[in-house]
Amino acid sequence: MTEQANQDNGTLVLALISGLSISGTFAAFFSPVVTFSIFPIITLVLTVYCLHLRYHQGEMSKGLPTLVALCFLLGMLLHSTIIRAEYPQIGSNFLPSVICVVLLFWIGAKLKKRKSEHV
């Protein structure tokens, strides 16, 4: 039981990292303000590979795909917020930061609900 919970948490962390890295890769390729770096591309390839392996190892528990999608979106918006705070000439980071907070509370509520159902 705890092994499945740890694997689910690992999947959520991988989804968050893949969201961060896909936003970083997009910014590295298409934003003239952000300097190019190869590390988001490497991170994206590794996290997608690890998620692909987890997908083939076994089925996801009930409600996990929604949480994975939310963590992925949180990662994308979190990176966008950080980049916009670092380079204010890109634009305001108010909307992405508000959406990040809402997603964070939503993920927390779903995780709490899943934990209470398993106990």
pLDDT (tens digit, 9 = 90+) per residue, 62-111? 888 899 999 999 999 999 999 999 988 888 889 999 999 999 999 999 99
Q: What is the pTM of this model?
A: 0.89
The rounded distance, in Å, linking the Cα atoms of 24 and 76 is: 8
**Both tokens assigned to 8:** 């689910």
pLDDT, the chain, mean: 89
Give the count of domains, the chain: 1
Contacts of 14 (CB under 8 A, 6+ apart): 47, 50, 51, 54
Residue 100 · residue 85 · CB < 8 Å: no
Per-residue pLDDT at 12: 92
Q: Which residue range(s) make up the domain with 78?
A: 2-118
